[in-house]
A and B are shown apart, each in its own frame.
Chain A
Amino acid sequence: MVRLKPVDVVIVGGGWTGLAMARELVGGSSLSVVVLERGPSRTLADYSASMDEVDYAIRHRMMQNIAEETVTHRFTIRDPAAPIRQYGNFLPGTGVGGSGEHWTGIAERHVPEDFILGTLLREKYGSRLPADLAVQDYGVTYEDLEPYYWRAEQMMGVGGQAGNVQGKLIEGGNPYEGVRSHHYPNPPHKTTYAMTLFVQAARELGYHPYPSPAATLTQEYTNPDGVSRMACQYCGYCMLFGCMVGAKSQPSNTLLPVLRNKKTFDLRTESWVRRIVHRNGKAEGVQYMDGKGQEVMQPAHMVVLASFTPNNTRLLLLSKIGDPYDPVAGKGTLGRNFTHTVGGGGGAVILDKPLNGFMNAGGQGIRLSDFAGFRGLDPDSGVLRGGLASGGGGGGHPIASFGRIPPGTAPRNWGSQWKKAALEYHDRMTGVGGFEMDHLAYKHNFLDLDPTYTDKWGDPLLRLTIDWTEHEQRQREFASKVGAKLAQEVARISGGRVVTSQRTARSSRHYQTAGYATTHLQGGAIMGRSPDSSVVNTWLQHWHMANLWVIGGSAFPQNSAYHPTLTSIALTYRAADAMIHRYLKHPGALA
């Protein structure tokens, strides 16, 4: 084993949170910072040569090599687990920037309720809550995070329409958002035909449609760090691709330019961290494999875990740090509160005009919060939390978008009749009222190490134990009702016609690892106010190891329908502030 010279901070993972932490520490202190990233680095030229649906959207060329490491899944502790052998319901990126390179760029905040959801649910429903519900408060409030949200939005240059600035409601924005201190740094995206229809339909029904906040720059922008980037060109190669003009905010084009030439910063690619080395309750550094297959020990005074959500938990388990969660005994904290996202609802409307669906930007779209949280729920439906409805999408890349036809149009999904119908309806079906809903945390959904399957080094894979409950089924029924209403209204005003979506027809009662859902995985190393029920404190510092920090989606006690990236970064900024201004002065547990 090669033993390197000690550094002040080693950060595991070079994605959004890892590089945001590095940017804060390098800019705000004299600490020497090393970031270890498992994948390669890429350039803008690599991204322009990657505008290819087969290699990137279908074969997932930007993702971690699943042959080397995957996860296993089982529905309950009584079921056998099987490995996810090919990419399915989530897509972890690799390389500098991590999943922040191929993300879609929806950069929205959580709402105030999200942070105190445990308290709110208990107040509202009390003993009527499902017995195995594990929803908890974050331990921080929206107000605590607001300044950090604002910094994250400025760093990315988020474009959107504010709905509530300093208590003043603004038409066209989300009236239900938390109070914002400022308007968005940039205006919202341009609108397509399908988007204008959805806005009109939603307004007719008395709802409050607003443009998705997008981290794909809507105009040329220079952020407070002096990083200038050009405006989005609506090329349509966004989700699952890196941006070839640098308009989509990615760690590589937004954070790395500030860090790259700093003497105290070192980024090592193709470095696969296997263990956090620790002794007597103190982290001493990390052990990793470098690109040549050499085992390396990097000693450090502080360790920051910033890898993809499930891998944060896996590294803690492999390193034997913390108490593994045991759902039967109800003991331990590490691995608990694993959540994903609940999708549902959504109809499609056939329009008589083309959508030009190949022209689009990541994050461009229309959302409704009229059914998010507790709003619009029928008290007798048994639905505890709703979610966000979207509309105005459609089309996309030629392979993925070909072949969608209304039911009953052709006897089978191949051959002359199918082809004729597929051509007739191509680029004319818009998705309306698809929902993303809060996925609540349950005691039976958790993460641990798989006893059977291993990664390429022989280390145990992470095992996901998770299934949908009756509640998620009810959420989907609710979403279908609202989605259908929205679809009918779009059809009415456009003269189009509603078709049943394939998604509704296919939906399974069980959690599926096949077929994409979202890459929004949360939990495992959750934050909170007590070491009895969380792994890290509200500064994302490990309760039992003061010089270890675990940042990213792993800290979320449960999923929020509002996408997680901006909140992950805001929490990282808050953690960095505490590290620089408090921990460095008095190293030890922050209370």
Chain B
Amino acid sequence: MRRREFLTLPAQSLGGLLLYTLAGEPIRMQAQEGEVRVPLRFFTAAEARVISAACERILPSDESGPGAKEAGVVIYIDRQLAGPYGRDKYRYTKGPWIESVPEHGYQGKANPRQIYREGIQKLGDFAALSAEQQDAKLVAIERTNFFQMLRTHTIEGMFCDPMHGGNAGMIGWQLIGFPGPVMSYREEIEEFRGKPFRRKPKSLADIVGHPVKGWEEETG
């Protein structure tokens, strides 16, 4: 049994309501104060800080709006890695392992957990570096499996249903104007032809009226 590790974040940094100025600039309103202690399932607190900082360079919080930090992307990744995906439960892992052509996709033996652990090693004291130094470090590993995976997971964690731990307060969906898994657009689909459709997003749990568990919660 591993020691319980927590990621402590300022509540102010997560989620919130996204408003736009007349000039179209996004402003994030978040009244929550204090700290949020998120129990980690896979990462240690130190590893989570490294991944969090790296995700923040992939989707930064900047003048174009909130990024990986506000969405809690690292929490999404932590849960994915702790779940069946992280240990390749649903991947064909029988040998022999051979090196093959790129057309065959990833043929490596390492599962996502192992790929992350190795990648984190290479990033070293990443969280302590300046943004420029961090970018230089990421550029150097851009072509690795680890970075490709990290980039993909960052986008996933930014725009996933909040049940998976990312997209806190549906901040990612607010950013791109995605209304969530709305059951019907039968009237709207032609009414809003070529016109912006902006509605406060709803999560899957909001829509079906009960909590829904992601696949990452599967045990065994």
Contacts and interface: CB of A to CB of B under 8 A. Distances in A.
A61 B215 contact: yes
Contacts of B135: 415
Interface string B62-100: 101101000000000000000001001111111010101
A473 interface: no
B45 interface: no
Interface string B132-152: 000100110010000000010
Interface string B187-220: 0111011111100000010011000101100000
Interface residues of B, number: 68
A67 B60 CA distance: 36
Contact of A86 (B91, B212, B215): B91
A176 interface: no
B51 interface: no
Contact of B215 (A55, A237, A420, A426): A55
Nearest to B100: A82
B41 interface: no
B31 interface: no
Contacts of A145: none
A66 B65 contact: no
A51 B91 contact: no
A29 to B, nearest CB: 40
Interface string A505-518: 00010111111000
B114 interface: no
A234 B193 CA distance: 13
Contacts of B103: 508, 510-514
A365 to B, nearest CB: 13
A504 interface: no
Contacts of B155: 399, 402-403
Given A54-B160, A86-B92, A237-B181, A402 B176 contact: yes
Interface stretch (B7-15, B32-40, B104-112, B121-129): B104-112
Interface string A399-414: 1001100000000111
Interface stretch (A118-126, A167-175, A353-361, A565-573): A353-361
A398 B173 contact: yes
A191 B164 CA distance: 33
Given A51-B207, A59-B215, A513 B197 contact: no
Contacts of A416: 60, 62, 64
A330 to B, nearest CB: 27
A453 interface: yes
Contacts, number: 184
Interface in A177-194: 190-193
B59 A419 contact: yes
A398 B192 contact: no
B173 A415 contact: no
Nearest to B89: A67
Interface string A190-230: 11110010000000000000000000000000000000000
B178 A358 contact: yes
Nearest to A359: B185
B42 interface: no
B214 to A, nearest CB: 6
A423 interface: yes
A191 B183 contact: no
A398 B170 CA distance: 12
A231 B183 CA distance: 12
A102 interface: no
Which of B91, B164, B193, B215 neighbours the largest number of chain A CB atoms within 10 Å of its CB? B193
A413 B94 contact: no
Contact of B58 (A414, A427, A453): A414
A41 interface: no
Given A413-B151, A415-B135, A514-B104, A54 B161 contact: yes
Contacts of B142: 412
A429 to B, nearest CB: 13
Contacts of A358: 178-179, 182
A234 B189 CA distance: 7
A25 interface: no
Nearest to B175: A423
A335 to B, nearest CB: 21
Given A49-B204, A54-B160, A426-B176, A193 B193 contact: yes
5 contacts: A235-B183, A415-B57, A419-B62, A419-B67, A513-B103
7 shortest A-B CB distances, which residue pairs? Answer: A514-B105, A51-B181, A233-B184, A398-B159, A82-B100, A193-B194, A359-B185
Given A85-B93, A402-B155, A420-B62, 15 more contacts: A52-B163, A53-B159, A53-B161, A59-B85, A65-B90, A67-B92, A82-B98, A88-B105, A235-B184, A353-B194, A358-B178, A419-B64, A423-B175, A511-B103, A513-B104
